[in-house]
Amino acid sequence: MKLIASLTSPYARKVRIVLAEKKIDCPLQLDIPWEAGSVVTDFNPLGKVPVLVMDDGSTLYDSRVIAEYLDGSSPVARLLPQDNKRLLIETRRWEALADGICDAAANIVLENRRPAAQQSQEWIARQLGKVNRGLEALSGMLGERSWCNGEAYSLADIATGCALGYLDFRFPQLDWRSDYPNLAALEEKLAARPSFAESVPPAA
């Protein structure tokens, strides 16, 4: 089994953190999909990372599918609630919202890479609106709770931490901590975990 991933992808980081929390040893094959020489389309027809390549050559994607597979492959540190359907759905909802923030942020990054004359400020503003509304929703959902789903550290926290980390990485000018101190406190707590500290994106 091996993981094909980019060190800057928040989705790949989510899977790498899951692997670390589950104590699953999995070789990492670096691949940046938009660079010449990328082989990711050989494993994922959508050309996206992460991709988990199984021992039999079959593949799993996207990050949500991979994370669920990994969580079920070992009883160590379960990250998805097992006996409470409401909590499971709540955890999944957190993950979907956090991933959606990453989607919007990544869309801005890609748009900004286009020639200036081809960029759409309306498109960028629309994506930024998604990011801002997503952060507001995350903060409202978290409230004063210690963990995202209200019970224990879970995939919800991992996904949220990766989204916040991606905003720090790509949009350092976005001062979300001032507006959402509860998210800032959560991010600080998550950053102290080895799985998060060891997967911080490299400096640009």
Count of domains observed in the chain: 2
pLDDT of residue 141: 98
Strand-strand pairing, 59-60 and 28-30: unpaired
pLDDT of residue 79: 98
Write the DSSP symbol of residue 4.
E
Are residues 47 and 103 located together in one domain of the fold? Answer: no
User: Is 200 contained in some domain?
Assistant: no
Q: What is the mean pLDDT of each run of 10 residues along the chain (204 residues)?
A: 98 98 98 93 97 97 98 95 94 98 98 96 98 98 96 96 98 97 98 98 84
- Dihedral over Cα of 108, 183, 99, 34: its sign: positive
CATH label of the domain that carries residue 134: 1.20.1050.10
Are residues 155 and 181 located together in one domain of the fold? Answer: yes
pLDDT of residue 204: 62
pLDDT of residue 187: 98
